[in-house]
Amino acid sequence: MKRMFLFLLTNMAVLAVISIVMKIFGFDGYMYERGLDYKALAVFSILWGSVGSFISLAISKWMAKRSMGVELIENPSNEKEMWLIDTVKRQAATAGIGMPEVGIFNSASPNAFATGMNRNNALVAVSTGLLDNMKREEVEAVLGHEISHVANGDMITMTLLQGILNAFVIFFSRVIGYAMSAAMRNDRSGGGYGIGQFIGTMIAQIVLGFLAAIIINKFSRYREFHADMGGAKLSSNQNMINALKALQRASHPEKLEGEFAAFGISGGKSKLRSLFSTHPPLEDRIEALERNQYV
């Protein structure tokens, strides 16, 4: 499963690059010339926080195709690929979204993910392991799960939430960096934007970035239940349950990396890593479907 770690990593990298560029060109320093200008910092944080998250979203399909080796199905070469295209097309029409690009990536682990800039310009990709090891009705439910992520607007919602959190990270990391620098100088009246303050800001940005990741992942886990319900409606409740049980039976399923984990299909069980998990435990998702019967 592969969509959140990479999304968060990409987002943090974008923020780091923005911070370095602002430092090099001196744009960051004007807020500290006469003490910290909180109003200017707030505007700066909102602007660049939003830019960082939307850049991550804008390049998500490009990253998916290259980092995972996704091969798009443009001209189906066999019956399996034709069935895959027809199923996605039918589900997309039912869900009221534009036809996504459909691709396959080479992985023995059964998995899938969806990503893209908006609901009418998305990518749905499945692994070779999913197609080879799961029944078609189970694959149909998995595809419905991914189509539901797209139809629910989870990608843009995640980006907006990330933008808000980015703004908080940028704002408070600079406040912390300024306070640390002022405390070291024992002078809170000003003093410019030096290398010590920059390092303090970057450290605070990394720490706060991980805290923001916990919030993002909690939201991702919440949206997984809705995508499961959507998959049940586009296929059937039993098909969705069977698909999740098939994932349970898979021994040590390979995790999708970052940018694609949030909108993937499988889920982890590790208690120690639950705060950073993008998906609820599979048993919890199965139980939720068993309580709410969708035909």
Catalytic residue among 146, 224, 257, 259: 146
Provide the CB-side half-sphere exposure for 254 (13 A, CA). 16
C-alpha to C-alpha distance for 172 and 167, rounded to whole angstroms: 9
C-alpha to C-alpha distance for 218 and 214, rounded to whole angstroms: 6
Q: Check residue 189 and give its pLDDT.
A: 45
C-alpha to C-alpha distance for 94 and 233, rounded to whole angstroms: 10
Q: Check residue 188 and give its pLDDT.
A: 47
Q: Check residue 287 and give its pLDDT.
A: 93
Q: Are 97 and 147 in contact (CB under 8 A)?
A: yes
State how far Cα 216 lies from the chain centre: 8
For the chain, give every domain's residue range: 1-295
C-alpha to C-alpha distance for 284 and 291, rounded to whole angstroms: 11
For the chain, list residues with pLDDT below 70: 1-19, 21-35, 185-194, 251-273, 293-295
Q: Check residue 21 and give its pLDDT.
A: 66
* Residue 146 annotated in active site: yes
